[in-house]
Amino acid sequence: MKTVKVLDKKFKLSISAETIAKAVKEMAGKINNDLAGKEVIFIGILNGSFMFASDLFKLIDFDAQITFLKLASYQGTSSSGKVKRLIGINENIENKVVVILEDIVDTGVTLESIIKQLKGYEPAEIRMATLLFKPEAYQKEIKLDYVGIEIPNEFIIGYGLDYDGFARNLPEIYTLIAE
């Protein structure tokens, strides 16, 4: 079993680079089928989605734009339930098909907040693409249009996902080992 230590915690390899690449390729194929010919702008949500967004976008075979947005950090100490403000919107997304690119959807709280804020810019349509999805943790009704890999409700790192800012550079995905 391949393991890595990040800061104080140990993780075991759970999704190989090949499995990730296959899921990204399948998703790109679906998006190419569904959205070719439309005016599409992909929006990667930083930081976690940068690697997924980059790999997916290389496989998009029609003319499309990509930009990145970030959720502002929480003000104050308590984070639960607070809506984070989306920052960095410079591009015009009005009347375009927006495809949100997320690394992972867990409870769905972040996604709901992103969609609510993007709707204010009056895009033609908003679609949601996430590399990873934790169905057991999901609390929302929002339809996920493109899901790469469903995973159990466990903490993971790698391929853009971090533990306290580290491990984003791992080319595969690792799961926290319970102690």
Catalytic residues: 106
Contacting range for ligand IMP; rule: CB under 6 A; set: 31-39, 51-59, 98-106, 117-125: 98-106
State yes or no: residue 55 binds ligand IMP (CB under 6 A): no
Contact with ligand IMP (CB under 6 A): which of 108, 123, 148, 160? 108
**Interface mask (CB under 5 A) for Mg ion, residues 84-103, using x and -?**
-------------------x
- The DSSP bridge partners found for residue 132 are 104, 149
CB closer to ligand IMP, 39 vs 172? 172
CB closer to Mg ion, 50 vs 121? 50
Contacting range for ligand IMP; rule: CB under 6 A; set: 1-9, 28-36, 62-70, 151-159: 151-159
State yes or no: residue 106 binds ligand IMP (CB under 6 A): yes
Tell me which of ligand IMP, Mg ion, none is bound by residue 99, counting a contact when its beta carbon lies within the kind-specific cut-off of 5 to 8 angstroms: none
Query: How many residues bind to ligand IMP according to rule CB under 6 A?
Result: 15
Q: In what order do the strands lie in the sheet with 156-157?
A: 3-6, 9-15, 173-176, 156-157
Given a contact cutoff of 8 angstroms between Cβ atoms, the answer to whether 131 and 31 are in contact is no
Least separation in angstroms between CB 167 and ligand IMP: 9
| Binding footprint of Mg ion on the chain (CB under 5 A) | 48, 103
